[in-house]
């Protein structure tokens, strides 16, 4: 897509865009950059990915958005089941301690969230919505 600067673009081998992501360095929950990225920028990019597709694809497509900062990660999903009105859903924010004692459990939290995103993407292909 032109005119967009996302930190992460998720696409398949043929270049079909399935999601996007934004990364931030600050871990502050009420940081202006974090609020803009999770509430405005990422959903707008997700919507743009949705509307680039054919009408029958839009109704089945679930676009994934990942918003992550220093010790936090959140997944957003957007779908347009009617083809004209989008539904945005978000997971609870996963918080990491950043301490080496809890590195294993922190990695597990991040892995589960990324695995949820991968399942959403795989369901897209199971429904055979690819170009």
What single string gives the DSSP state of each residue in 91-113?
PPPEE----GGGHHHHHHHHHHH
CA distance 107 to 20: 21
Residue range 13-37: mean pLDDT, rounded = 75
Q: Is residue 131 part of a domain?
A: no
Give the pLDDT score at 4. 61
pLDDT digits (tens, 9 = 90+) for 36-89: 777 788 888 888 887 777 777 777 788 888 888 878 888 898 888 877 778 888
Give percent of the chain with pLDDT exceeding 70: 85
Residue with tokens 């996007």: 20
Q: Is residue 64 part of a domain?
A: yes
Q: Is residue 4 part of a domain?
A: no
Kindly tell me if the per-residue pLDDT of 93 is higher than 80.
yes
pTM: 0.75
Q: How many domains does the chain have?
A: 1
Q: Is residue 1 part of a domain?
A: no
Domain of 100, in residue numbers: 16-126
The angle subtended at Cα 53 by Cα 51 and Cα 58, nearest 5°, is 75
Report whether 1 contacts 48 (CB < 8 A): yes
Q: Rounded mean pLDDT of the chain?
A: 79
CA distance 4 to 25: 20
Q: Is residue 5 part of a domain?
A: no
- CA 118 to each of CA 28, 29, 62: distance values in angstroms, whole numbers, following the listed order: 27, 26, 11
Q: Is residue 35 part of a domain?
A: yes
Q: Is residue 31 part of a domain?
A: yes
Residue with tokens 């974090």: 34
User: Model confidence at 28, in pLDDT bands (50, 70, 90)?
Assistant: low
Residue that wins the pLDDT comparison between 4 and 102: 102
- As given in the structure block, the two tokens for residue 40 are 């405005």
Q: Is residue 7 part of a domain?
A: no
Instruction: Label the pairing between strands 17-23 and 62-69.
Output: parallel
């Amino acid at each position: 897509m032109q005119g967009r600067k996302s930190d992460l673009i998720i696409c398949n081998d043929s270049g079909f865009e399935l999601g996007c992501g934004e990364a931030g360095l600050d871990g502050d929950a009420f940081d202006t950059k974090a609020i803009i990225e999770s509430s405005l920028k990422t959903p707008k990019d997700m919507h743009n990915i949705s509307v680039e597709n054919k009408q029958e694809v839009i109704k089945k497509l679930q676009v994934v958005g990942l918003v992550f900062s220093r010790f936090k990660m959140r997944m957003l999903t957007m779908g347009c089941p009617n083809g004209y009105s989008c539904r945005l859903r978000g997971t609870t924010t996963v918080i990491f301690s950043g301490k080496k004692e809890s590195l294993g459990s922190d990695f597990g939290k991040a892995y589960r969230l990324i695995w949820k995103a991968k399942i959403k993407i795989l369901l897209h292909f199971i429904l055979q919505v690819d170009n």
